[in-house]
Amino acid sequence: MLTSQEFFETIVVPNNEAQHADTSSVRFAFNAIAAIDDYVGIWAHELRSAGRISITEECFRDDLARRSGPYRALRDMAFALKHGELSGKKARLVSRAGSLADQGAAFDPDTFSDAFATSGVICIEMDAGGAVEVWKMIEFAMEAITDLQNEVALVTPAGDAGADR
């Protein structure tokens, strides 16, 4: 079984790099969103099993969502993609699977040379209005995840004071 760090390095990072290299691919966007969401769940379970955190996976996800609006949107998008539509009591930034959408070309290919990007970009349409490019949300969410990884690395498990330093 992969550790959370192995999952991060072999699944999350390559999927995010693929999505960033081709921001018009809905498949790459879906894979990157799912990989981030899966990673956070695996990581939370691993930390809890090791006694490094005492909160539930859901609380861990909620804490990260409070720290990072982009992660919150990606988490909500992942849940909506899995369930189709979210209608529970929890406030969501995104509640429909159809919110993952191609926003179309940024330039008219007949007007500009091939030097300009003319393919669409995959965005998440927010329930409150507006759309944000998936690659931007991933970039900011990954920063928040990295910050939390660094915080967790500074805290040693109970009873292991000084270990891993």
Q: Which residues, in sequence order, are CB contacts of 76 under 8 Å at separation 6+?
A: 86, 92, 93, 94, 95
Q: What is the pTM of this model?
A: 0.81
Provide the residue-wise pLDDT of the chain in tens; the chain has 165 residues.
889 999 999 999 999 999 999 999 999 999 999 999 999 999 999 999 999 989 999 999 999 999 999 999 999 999 889 888 788 778 788 888 888 888 765 545 555 555 555 568 999 999 998 888 999 999 999 999 999 999 888 765 554 443 332
Provide the CB-side half-sphere exposure for 54 (13 A, CA): 2
Q: Give the whole-angstrom CA distance, residue 32 versus residue 137.
A: 11
- Tokens 């529970």 correspond to 88
How far apart CA 38 and CA 41 sit, in angstroms, is 5
β strands within the chain, DSSP E = 100-102, 122-125, 131-133
